[in-house]
Chains A and B, each alone.
Chain A
Amino acid sequence: MTAMQTAFDHEQFQRAQALKNARLGLLLWRFANGMAFIFFVFANLLMRNVQPSWPPPGVERLPIALPIAITLVILLSGMTATRLLKAVRANQFGEALRFGAATLALGAVFFVGLLAAGAQVTPSGPYSSITWAMLFFHGLHVTVASLLLGAVLIGVWRGRYSAERHWGVEASVVFWHFVDAMWLVFFAVIYVL
Chain B
Amino acid sequence: MATTVQPTAVAVPKPRGIAKYLAWSIDHKVIGIQYIATSFFFFLVGGFLAELIRIELLTPAASLMVDGGAYNTLFTMHGTIMIFLFVVPMLAGFGNYLVPLMLGQKDMAFPWLNAFAFWMLPPAGVIMLAGWLVGPAQAGWTSYFPLSGPQYSPFDGQTLWAISLHLVGASSILGAVNFIVTILNMRPPGMTIWQMPLFVWATLATSIIILVATPFLAGGLTLMLLDRLAGTSFFSPATGGDPLLWQNVFWFYSHPAVYIMVLPAMGILSEVLSVHARKPVFGYRFIALSSLAIGFLGCIVWGHHMFTSLASWARIPFMLTTMLIAVPTGVKMFSWIGTLWGGKIRFTSAMLFALGFLSMFVLGGITGVFLASVPVDIHLHDTYFVVAHFHFVLFGGSVFAIFAGLYHWFPKMSGRMLNERLGKIHFALTYIGFFLTFFPMHFLGLEGMPRRIYTYDPKYEALNVLSTIGALIMAVAIVPFLVNLAVSLVAGKPAGSNPWRALTLEWMTSSPPPDHNFDEPPIPASDPYGYGTPEGAAYLASGGKMALPDSGGGHAHTDQPIERPATGD
Contact = CB atoms under 8 A, between A and B. Distances in A.
Interface of A: 1, 3, 6-7, 9-10, 13, 17, 20-21, 24-25, 28-29, 31-33, 35-36, 38-40, 42-43, 46-47, 50, 125-126, 129-130, 132-133
Contact of B5 (A1, A7, A20, A43): A7
B249 A42 contact: yes
Interface in B102-158: 109-110
Contact of B248 (A7, A21, A28, A46): A46
Q: Interface on chain B toward A: helix, strand, loop, or mixed SS?
A: helix
A112 to B, nearest CB: 23
A182 B516 CA distance: 41
Contact of B215 (A32, A125, A129): A32
Nearest to B211: A32
Q: Interface on chain A toward B: helix, strand, loop, or mixed SS?
A: helix
Contacts of B219: 36, 39-40, 43
A6 B5 contact: yes
Interface stretch (B26-34, B238-246, B409-417, B484-492): B238-246
Contacts of B177: 25, 28-29, 32
A38 B214 CA distance: 12
Nearest to A21: B109
Contacts of B462: none
Interface stretch (B49-57, B179-187, B320-328): B179-187
A47 to B, nearest CB: 6
B18 interface: no
B313 to A, nearest CB: 13
A126 B240 CA distance: 7
B25 interface: no
Contact of B563 (A13, A50, A132): A13
Nearest to B212: A35
Interface in B185-219: 185-186, 211-216, 218-219
Contact of B3 (A6, A21, A47): A6
Interface centre among A7, A9, A25, A29 (most CB of B within 10 A): A25
A36 B278 CA distance: 45
B181 A24 contact: yes
Given A31-B211, A46-B242, A21 B181 contact: yes
A53 to B, nearest CB: 15
B232 interface: yes
Contact of B185 (A21, A29, A42): A21
Interface string B326-357: 00000000000000000000000000000000
Contacts of B40: none
A129 B5 contact: no
B500 interface: no
B100 to A, nearest CB: 13
B234 interface: yes
B186 A129 contact: no
B232 A133 contact: yes
